[in-house]
Amino acid sequence: MEEISREGYLAYSGHKQTAELQPIYKKHEKVLGRDALELAVEAFESARDGSEEKRSARYLLEWEIETQAAKPLAALDEREIEWENSAFVRSPDGRVIQYQAVPIEIANTRDRSTRLAIDAARAKLVEKEHAPMRQERLEREKDYIESIGIASDYNKSFEAITGISLSGLASECELFLRDTQSMWDDTLPRVLKKSLGIKPAQAKRSDALALFRAAEFDDAFPGTAMETVIRRQVSEMGVDPTAGGRIIFDIGDREGKRARAFCSPVRVPDEVYLVLRPHGGQNDYNTMLHELGHALHFAYARADYPFEFRWLGDNSVTESYAMLFDHRMQDAGWLLRYTELQKKRIGKFLRTAGFEELHFLRRYCAKFLYERTLYSGEVPWAQLPDLYVSLLTGATGFEYHPADAFVDVDPRYYSSRYLRAWQLQSVLDEHLVERFDDDWFRNPNAGRWLVGELLAEGQRESAEEIAARAGASSLSFAPLARKIEKLLVA
């Protein structure tokens, strides 16, 4: 894991041309062989429910399965990456746009008919070339997981291995979509009319991309101040933002650095890289806070914990800590103290944030419900695109394209981790406010609790156990709905 993580860090931060992963897998072949998988299955099945052995075995088994499933799919992945890197779309004025850059181009295109034309060209290409590749990958992955025989089908085996209830989460998503429907119906038409000058019946997914690209507040988030200001906040919480030098900030511009920020835990907890290529504005603050949450989590994990508690576990947990930090961008006190957003603009900023949060959550709920049906095998592959369009369009109010039904799928239910992280983050935030006040983010007592009680545990505990520690009886969307309601009337 250290070698893979280091290779990933070097390649994606622009220090190296490519990540040479095959030799690492070859060198450690035995760790990911049939025998290792059988051993992990046996350990999992024989450990007593609720014991520490069961936790260890669960995380190790999940890791074995994920990593082993990736092996037979590697050739498909390589083919897809090659395709993505070489495909292009032609805009109506004849310009050639790299496939990977199309979403950014769509978001930045102010002229609506051009925007729709680029998206139509994109969808045509996806339908013909990208979607069939992804469909094949999904089918093969489903077959592989089911062939291991942990449970009778893909969804049951995911539940058995991870301990996450897909059906429970699905009911919560349905409830959230129902509960927030009128809030969404009240908000969306106004925003569409004001920002894009269109009616709800006309709204397409490409319009959503353009809508959320808005740079209206970027001047309040100067790039030059970002690192200093965010470090200052963490210090005011009584926490060393570098965790005693274990976190290395790599946030300068460098050729070959990925556009998307990431956190590379090369040695947990001793060597953690936070990598960001600055683009400027509000979005950088958001990603920096998010990745810092991950970095602090890895760098403050207990060094004496076994591998599986430091490296593996339920990623809903690490995502929730990342979200706890990035959600400071919805916190009036934080914004006023650490950014140049002043009192007179704060209301509008928060209303916009509430709108985005609600859109994003509704999209993720619908996406998860769709993915659950996809993996259930209950709906034939040929009919999935129609279901995708009806679920996603219904939840967001933006019309989705059937071509994206196999492309817009998170591998191995990462959507469920995000949704659970969202829930846990809101539980933690409410608890921190209750216990340490609104400005817990600059309270050393809060910092002590966060580091000592939560971050130090790595991912040993489940999201439910951590919620319980913060006084919540269960994970749910209720605190999120409450928060969004407040933001929308800020």
Chain position carrying tokens 């072949």: 29
- Residue 291 is which amino acid? E
Residue 61 is a binding residue for Zn ion (CB under 5 A): no
Q: How far apart are CA 165 and CA 454, in angstroms?
A: 23
**Beta carbon of residue 274, minimum distance to Zn ion (angstroms, whole number):** 12
H helix or E strand, kind and range, residue 347? helix 343-376
Segment near Zn ion (CB under 5 A), from 45-53, 124-132, 240-248, 311-319?
Answer: 311-319
Residue 470 is a binding residue for Zn ion (CB under 5 A): no
Segment near Zn ion (CB under 5 A), from 111-119, 178-186, 252-260, 312-320?
Answer: 312-320
Number of residues lying near Zn ion (CB under 5 A): 2
Residue 426: what are its φ and ψ, rounded to 5°? -70, -35
Q: How far apart are CA 487 and CA 156, in angstroms?
A: 38
Q: Which of 123, 211, 322, 329 binds Zn ion (CB under 5 A)?
A: 322
Residue 323 is a binding residue for Zn ion (CB under 5 A): no
**Beta carbon of residue 4, minimum distance to Zn ion (angstroms, whole number):** 18
- 448 is written with which tokens? 């002590």
Q: How far apart are CA 277 and CA 280, in angstroms?
A: 9
Which residue minimizes CB distance to Zn ion?
322
Our CB check for Zn ion shows the closer of 275 and 322 to be 322
The string of DSSP codes covering 376-426 is HT-S-GGGHHHHHHHHHHHHHSSBP-GGGGTTS--GGGHHHHHHHHHHHHH
Residue 324 is a binding residue for Zn ion (CB under 5 A): no
**Beta carbon of residue 125, minimum distance to Zn ion (angstroms, whole number):** 29
**Beta carbon of residue 12, minimum distance to Zn ion (angstroms, whole number):** 15
Residue 261 is a binding residue for Zn ion (CB under 5 A): no
Our CB check for Zn ion shows the closer of 154 and 422 to be 422
Residue 145 is a binding residue for Zn ion (CB under 5 A): no
**Beta carbon of residue 465, minimum distance to Zn ion (angstroms, whole number):** 20
**Beta carbon of residue 294, minimum distance to Zn ion (angstroms, whole number):** 6
Q: How far apart are CA 93 and CA 98, in angstroms?
A: 15
94: left (phi over 0), alpha (psi -120 to 50) or beta: left
Segment near Zn ion (CB under 5 A), from 129-137, 317-325, 390-398, 433-441?
Answer: 317-325
Residue 295 is a binding residue for Zn ion (CB under 5 A): no
Contact assessment for residue 211 and residue 195, using Cβ atoms and an 8 Å cutoff: yes
Q: How far apart are CA 310 and CA 433, in angstroms?
A: 28
Segment near Zn ion (CB under 5 A), from 95-103, 201-209, 314-322, 430-438?
Answer: 314-322
**Beta carbon of residue 263, minimum distance to Zn ion (angstroms, whole number):** 7
Segment near Zn ion (CB under 5 A), from 48-56, 228-236, 318-326, 432-440?
Answer: 318-326
Our CB check for Zn ion shows the closer of 305 and 414 to be 414
**Beta carbon of residue 8, minimum distance to Zn ion (angstroms, whole number):** 15
**Beta carbon of residue 322, minimum distance to Zn ion (angstroms, whole number):** 4
Segment 152 to 211, residues that bind Zn ion, using CB under 5 A = none
Residue 275 is a binding residue for Zn ion (CB under 5 A): no
Indicate the burial class of 490 (C-beta count within 10 angstroms; 0-12, 13-18, 19 or more).
middle
The string of DSSP codes covering 221-276 is S-HHHHHHHHHHHHHHTT--TTTTTTEEEE-S--TT--SS-EEEEEETTTEEEEE-
Sign of CA dihedral 214, 411, 29, 461: positive
- Chain residues that interact with Zn ion, rule: CB under 5 A: 319, 322
